[in-house]
A and B are shown apart, each in its own frame.
Chain A
Amino acid sequence: MSEQPEPIKKVSLIVSKGSLVDVYPALVMGNGARMEGMEASIFFTFFGLGALIKKTQDSLKVATVGNPAMNMAMPMLKMPITMPFPTIMGAIPGVSNFATWMMKNEMENLDIPTVPEFLEMFTDAGGEVFACKLAMDMFKLTKDDLDDRVSSVLTVGEFYEKSAGASIIFT
């Protein structure tokens, strides 16, 4: 008889990159953790902070260069998933904007909220949103620049204190 594994009770997610597709997984997983009754927090650091800055959070972009898996998005254009998307095409002006627009449409169809709305939903669900102090200093940001849903700006040490007992997930 094998023992039942202990259910996860608490997760701390870390977001360090700031493209649209870098930010969403943490929002989905954090919110999903709350939906399962777990404690959840998301710590945004480095470029991930873009998701919290009031001026930028609603204009995150899909990166269209340097992603050899861009063919995955082809079915959104009614093209086969095996069709390659050369990175040089992703560098053409407007392509990233177009891909972003397409991705956002697709997400709205699937009932996925925008970044600001997602932060609202996650915090209403009892999740906590933190910003990294070091990255804030580096990008010359103050708490006033950030979404009201950010509960606090933390040092790395404080982040680990708050994550006591949690599974830490770097997305």
Chain B
Amino acid sequence: MSTKDLAGLSVEVDGEGYLSDHTVWNRDIALAIAAEEGIDPLTDRHFDVIDFMRKEFEEKGAAPSIRRLNKLNVVPTKELYQLFPGGPAKKAAKIAGLGKPQGCI
């Protein structure tokens, strides 16, 4: 656990840079994490995914899987990989201010 300056705020992050508390998240923090992850700019389409993930996380306590995002027509798998290249589930969760995904699928 350490603190980090993101978008002018000092926030707690874990060893891999995931926010420790998802409630401190805001859109500027998302932009700052995305830039660090090499996703710049973060478009409305990215936010469609991120907002849905945050909503599910609030309701169920866990971020949705890639399969679920596809099944619920939030984002097709192919597009998800284009939006968040090099590890979509992890990167999207990180930018959404959620913890590292625990699922294998």
Bound-state Cα–Cα, A126 to B88, Å:
12
| Closest residue of B by beta carbon distance from A32 | B104
Bound-state Cα–Cα, A111 to B104, Å:
10
Question: 19 A-B residue contacts at CB 8 Å?
Answer: A28-B105, A31-B105, A32-B104, A35-B66, A35-B87, A35-B88, A35-B90, A36-B90, A37-B86, A37-B87, A111-B68, A111-B105, A112-B105, A113-B105, A121-B77, A124-B76, A125-B66, A125-B77, A125-B78
Q: Enumerate chain B residues within 8 angstroms of A113, measured Cβ to Cβ.
A: 67, 105
Q: Which residues of B contact A (CB under 8 A)?
A: 65-68, 70, 76-78, 81, 85-90, 103-105
Q: Enumerate chain B residues within 8 angstroms of A28, measured Cβ to Cβ.
A: 104-105
B contact patch SS: helix
Q: Which residues of A contact B (CB under 8 A)?
A: 28, 31-32, 34-37, 110-113, 121, 124-126
Nearest CB on A from B53, distance (A): 15
Q: Are B89 and A35 in contact (CB under 8 A)?
A: yes
